[in-house]
Amino acid sequence: MWNTLYLPGTTISSWNGVAVYEYAGGGRFRRMTHWSWSTSYHEHYEVARLATGSWWVPVSTNPPGFWERPTLVVGVPSTSPEPRVNPNGSEYRPGGVYFWVPAVPPPYVPGITTNRVDCHPPSVPPNELGTDVGAAPAGGLAVAQERLAAILAEPVEAVAAAPANAFQDSDGLISFVNLSSDLVNHSAEYKTGTEVFDKIANFFSTLRVKVFTAMQNGKITPLKGDPKPATQWDLTVTHYMQYLLQETGGLTDYAITEETYSETQVVAEFSADFVKLLFDAVTVPSSVIGGVTAFISGVGTTLRTSWDDRVRTYSVDLLGQCHEAVQQNSDGAPDYRYFPKLKYYHLTVDSQQSEFTSDCATVRKITFNFRYEAYVTAVAAAVLDKTTAEYKSFTAFLDKAQAANYKDAQNQLDTVLDGGVSADVPKLNAFGVDLSHYPPARAEQVGQVERRRLVAV
């Protein structure tokens, strides 16, 4: 018998030790740092059972676009009765992709099948796959430096052909702001963390044009599953810069959340109330909500008076620093650790119109399509110590990217992502870190009021 799990992928990804690996050829597997877990319920099949855990494959009857090689799920022949894998013959799996689960935690109870998926998963657990697994496919910092050199070689003038209205206060608005918050005021590591985050903000701001140009010229290629970008603001460009930073070893793994949503309304009865339902479902910085609501309300109002058939788009990108002290232990006196995180939000809303005419009336409808992505990562613990080789190599990489002095041009917005203390022991598995490696922070009671202040130790 083999196990199955009918759960959202995001639920599985939160379990301890879960990681995704991809076949790299030559009998080798490498860890994937960018994998979009499903947010809806899907089947997952166990394909290899070892002493310390199991290998699994995700399946879908409607494979997402980023699966490069969707493969029809075929079960190993079995004379046992049902249930079997892919009972309706409509399930697909991503070719060469497997994820590792050390154990299924309670209260989740796996189902069973009498046969398993016919595939070739790793025959050993992740820690025995080889030293190249877990590193970036291209070879770490050295290759990241080579890619950066190719990007920096691009002249800024080469992007003159990009749309002139890619950044404007109108339909198609894209805004990019750097956020900061203050929690641990008197910590050397906190000061180092903010300095590193400022460098990362500059990296995203000043390198974007050059990455876009290098992709347009074919000197670098988009990550697997990403299309060639049409503008410097496309997610393809952002994903590549995120990949470069993670490849250097200065950042942890990414925790990724993706959501899509559509809403269709008759123009004559248009209401923007549905926006609240959307933002109740996903965590979005409060500063985003007003802009999105204003855009949607404006489109609805315009179409009541003037029906023009065109697509309108609103996009917003937010880069946030989250300086937080999180509790490491669950028993005894709280043991807090300074754990700085980088949060990147992307939200796109586009509107599409349709008109239906009959003998009796004309009905005009508008559809809003939302795409939301959130990427959260942390600075590696060693980077918070200025004496380490990791700090020196990572900051040198960031400094090299600053061909233009963008530091004084950053937009500051301190009210979004205001720092705070986690309510309970955080689930940090997605980042692939050991919290004990991070600097300690001590909680003090302030006055007669039962509240805590976090200070450096």
Q: Which residue has the higher pLDDT, 231 or 364?
A: 231
pLDDT category at 135 given cuts 50, 70, 90 is very low
Q: Which residue has the higher pLDDT, 355 or 147?
A: 147
Q: Where along the chain do its domains lie?
A: 2-128, 139-441
Cβ atoms within 10 A of the Cβ of 362, count?
A: 9
Q: How far apart are CA 262 and CA 391, in angstroms?
A: 44
Percent of the chain exceeding pLDDT 70 equals 60
Alpha helices (runs of H) in 306-388, residue ranges in sequence order: none
pLDDT category at 336 given cuts 50, 70, 90 is confident
Least confident range from 114-118, 150-154, 348-352, 445-449: namely 445-449
Position 45 pLDDT exceeds 60? yes
Chain segment 279-291, per-residue pLDDT in tens = 554 555 555 566 6
Q: Which residue has the higher pLDDT, 329 or 212?
A: 212
pLDDT of residue 46: 94
Position 318 pLDDT exceeds 80? no
pLDDT category at 295 given cuts 50, 70, 90 is low
pLDDT category at 25 given cuts 50, 70, 90 is low
> What is the secondary structure of 409-422 as a DSSP string?
G--EETTTT-----
pLDDT category at 417 given cuts 50, 70, 90 is very low
| Backbone conformation region of residue 218, classed left if phi is above 0, alpha if psi is from -120 to 50, else beta | left
Distance of CA 26 to CAs 23, 30, 128, Å?
A: 9, 11, 16
pLDDT of residue 53: 93
Q: Which residue has the higher pLDDT, 109 or 171?
A: 109
Q: Which residue has the higher pLDDT, 24 or 180?
A: 24
User: 359: burial class by Cβ within 10 Å (0-12, 13-18, 19+)?
Assistant: exposed
Overall average pLDDT of the 188-215 stretch: 85
Position 27 pLDDT exceeds 90? no
Q: How far apart are CA 181 and CA 327, in angstroms?
A: 19
Q: Phi/psi at 219 (nearest 5 deg)?
A: -75, -25
pLDDT of residue 98: 93
Position 74 pLDDT exceeds 60? yes
Cβ atoms within 10 A of the Cβ of 390, count?
A: 18
pLDDT of residue 333: 78
Nearest to 266 by CA among 368, 365, 367: 365
Nearest to 377 by CA among 324, 337, 340, 420: 340
Partnered with residue 355 across adjacent β-strands are 364
**Helices 188-216/141-152 angle, 10° precision:** 60
Hey, which of 118-122, 286-290, 407-411, 432-436 has the most confident mean pLDDT? 118-122
- Whose structure tokens read 């989740």? 108
User: Residue 365 is which amino acid?
Assistant: K
| Backbone conformation region of residue 26, classed left if phi is above 0, alpha if psi is from -120 to 50, else beta | left
pLDDT of residue 77: 79
pLDDT of residue 453: 43
Query: Token pair for residue 209?
Result: 């044009």
Mean pLDDT over each residue of the chain, to the nearest integer = 71
Position 8 pLDDT exceeds 70? yes
Position 4 pLDDT exceeds 90? yes
pLDDT of residue 181: 43
Count Cα neighbours of 92 within 13 Å in the Cβ-side half-sphere. 12
pLDDT of residue 235: 84
pLDDT of residue 47: 92
Chain segment 241-281, per-residue pLDDT in tens = 888 887 788 887 777 777 777 777 766 555 656 565 555 54
Position 64 pLDDT exceeds 80? no
pLDDT of residue 54: 94
pLDDT category at 347 given cuts 50, 70, 90 is confident
Q: How far apart are CA 301 and CA 369, in angstroms?
A: 18
pLDDT of residue 247: 79
Hey, which of 110-124, 167-181, 301-315 has the most confident mean pLDDT? 110-124
Q: Which residue has the higher pLDDT, 102 or 407?
A: 102
Overall average pLDDT of the 404-430 stretch: 41
Position 450 pLDDT exceeds 90? no
pLDDT category at 3 given cuts 50, 70, 90 is very high
Overall average pLDDT of the 318-338 stretch: 73
